[in-house]
């Protein structure tokens, strides 16, 4: 998803999304008929797709590899602490193990972006979905299931940005002129896919003007928010 699109979505529909969330029911983020993972089911966690940016005075996003590396490390630690809540049989895949699944990951990102835009944003909903979580990766999941033996796969995509000192000064200057400008935003989603059917059975989004993945407490809070409502194995 291009940076300009992310910022457009964040700034243009933020208020709409917050109002919608207040009325959301937990079942909205579950596929029809799905309530929980069976006890004993196996979960594989794919490498987090994440990138952090600094925002220049003019509002241009500049990738920060050092921040992204720190955020990856912090979120991996946070995920390890949450391990017991993910289930009794969890395997975390490395980037190297996913090298052979490049096309599959591209498909997952496309489907995830479509859900993020058309399911989580009621004002951009697709009439044919009737407000229900009805998305699938289809037969494309079978090689991943064959490789891992897992029953479900957890995906996560996060883009996070922070105002540079110059940007903060520009925001302050614009405020004196009566104009409202924004700093960073945190966007992302997590999805759970049934590797037997390809169905996306759970989805949650992250969509806010707060959060900091560069520090451990912030990463833990972000993960907790991202995995809110994650279906337990029971």
Residues 133, 26 contacting (CB under 8 angstroms):
no
Query: What pLDDT, on the 0 to 100 scale, is given for residue 168?
Result: 78
Query: What pLDDT, on the 0 to 100 scale, is given for residue 129?
Result: 86
Sign of the torsion formed by the C-alpha atoms of 219, 220, 225 and 229: positive
Residue-wise pLDDT tens for the chain (234 aa)?
544 445 545 544 444 454 455 455 667 899 999 989 998 899 999 999 999 999 888 888 899 999 999 999 999 999 888 877 788 899 999 989 988 899 999 999 999 999 998 887 778 888 888 889 999 999 999 999 999 999 999 999 999 998 888 777 777 777 777 776 667 789 999 999 999 999 999 999 988 888 899 999 999 999 999 999 999 888
**Residue 79, both tokens:** 């995920």
Q: How far is CA 55 from CA 155, 163, 219, in A?
A: 26, 5, 20
* 3-class SS of residue 46: coil
């Amino acid at each position: 998803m291009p940076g300009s699109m992310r910022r457009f979505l964040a700034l243009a529909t933020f208020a709409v999304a917050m109002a919608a969330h207040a009325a959301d029911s937990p079942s909205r983020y579950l596929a029809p008929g799905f309530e929980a993972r069976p006890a004993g089911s196996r979960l594989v966690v794919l490498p987090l797709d994440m990138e952090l940016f600094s925002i220049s005075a003019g509002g241009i996003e500049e990738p920060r590899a050092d921040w992204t590396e720190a955020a990856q490390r912090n979120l991996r630690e946070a995920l390890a602490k949450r391990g017991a809540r993910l289930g009794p049989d969890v395997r975390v895949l490395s980037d190297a193990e996913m090298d052979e699944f490049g096309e599959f990951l591209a498909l997952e990102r496309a489907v995830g972006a479509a859900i993020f835009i058309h399911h989580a944003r009621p004002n951009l909903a697709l009439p044919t979905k009737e407000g229900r979580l009805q998305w699938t990766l289809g037969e494309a999941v079978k090689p991943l299931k064959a490789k891992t033996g897992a029953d479900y796969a957890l995906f996560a995509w996060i883009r996070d940005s922070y105002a540079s000192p110059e940007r903060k000064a520009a925001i302050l200057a614009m405020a004196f002129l009566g104009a409202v400008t924004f700093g960073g935003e945190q966007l992302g989603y997590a999805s759970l896919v049934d590797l037997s059917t390809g169905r996306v059975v759970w989805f949650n989004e992250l969509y806010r003007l707060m959060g900091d993945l560069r520090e451990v407490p912030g990463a833990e809070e972000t993960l907790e928010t991202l995995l809110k409502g994650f279906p337990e194995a029971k």
